[in-house]
Every structure is written in structure tokens, then in C-alpha cells.
Amino acid sequence: MRATPFLTVLLILAVLALAAATGHAADVSTGAADSPEHQVDAYLRDLSAHIALSPEETAAMRPILIVQAAKRQDLARARLAANPGMAGMLALREDMRAVTRETDEKLAAVLSPERMEQLRNDRAARLAASRAQARQLAEVRPAD
């Protein structure tokens, strides 16, 4: 089937985008090998360029995001090791969404509603950019 490679690339990029949008792959080139602390610090630096976070907000967000980053890394390793392929990616996507919802609840306790809205808007923008990049890659890469 010709659409399968495209869907696989699109799904992988979507998972990476979800991770980036929530602080886990702000720099995709560094990948999952980076420590959660390093990933979160890079994400917060990038986020601060888009949203003027106060030092207090950054300090409150950091431990929450570090826990989330570690969970995401563990989930990715476990899901893909147990069930490689598209089924594993789909299950991983659902797991990542659950972690994002849990993290948002914790962040909402330390950020104002306005800040949470800005964070969600930034996340949506990152996801849209990642999807656009996936489409460009699919157009450049010939179908198998």
C-alpha cells in the first residue's frame, strides 16, 4: 500500500511533535537520549522566547515537566519494545495524550488561566509546524 510509509512518517512526526509541544523534544536532534532535565531546560528556554514566563513560573513548571519527560521516555521505550510498528505507535500516542492531560492539570495549579491558554496555543503552533514539516517530507520522499 502506497500510503503506509506516508502514514508511518506522519505518525512518528506527530508523536515527536506532541513531545516537543509539551517539553520533551524541544530540540528533536537531541532525541530521547537526553536527560529529562536537559530536555525540559531546553524547552523552557524556547518557550520563554514565545511566552514571557516569570522566574517563579519557570521554577514552578520545571519539576512538573521533568516528571512528564521521564514518563514519556519510559512509555516510549516500553510501548515500542513491547509492540513495535504502527499498533505500538498508536498506543503510544494515546499514552502520550494521557500524560499531557495529567501534566496540564498540574500546570493549571501553578499557572494562571491566561498562561495556560498561552501554553496551549504555543503547543498547537508547534504541532501545526511539525505536521507541515511532515507533509513537506512526504512530498519530497517518493512513495515506495
CB 126 within 8 A of CB 17: yes
Task: Give the other-Cβ count within 10 Å of 105's Cβ.
Answer: 10
Residue 110 and residue 64 in contact, taking contact as beta carbons nearer than 8 Å: yes
The 10s digit of each residue's pLDDT in 53-64 is 999 999 999 999
Which H or E run contains 136? helix 113-140
Domain regions of the chain by residue span: 3-140
* Cell 506527530, located at residue: 14
Of 22 and 78, the structure prediction assigns the larger pLDDT to 78
pLDDT tens, position by position, 95-133: 999 999 999 999 999 999 999 999 999 999 999 999 999
How confident is the model over 67-80, as a mean pLDDT?
91
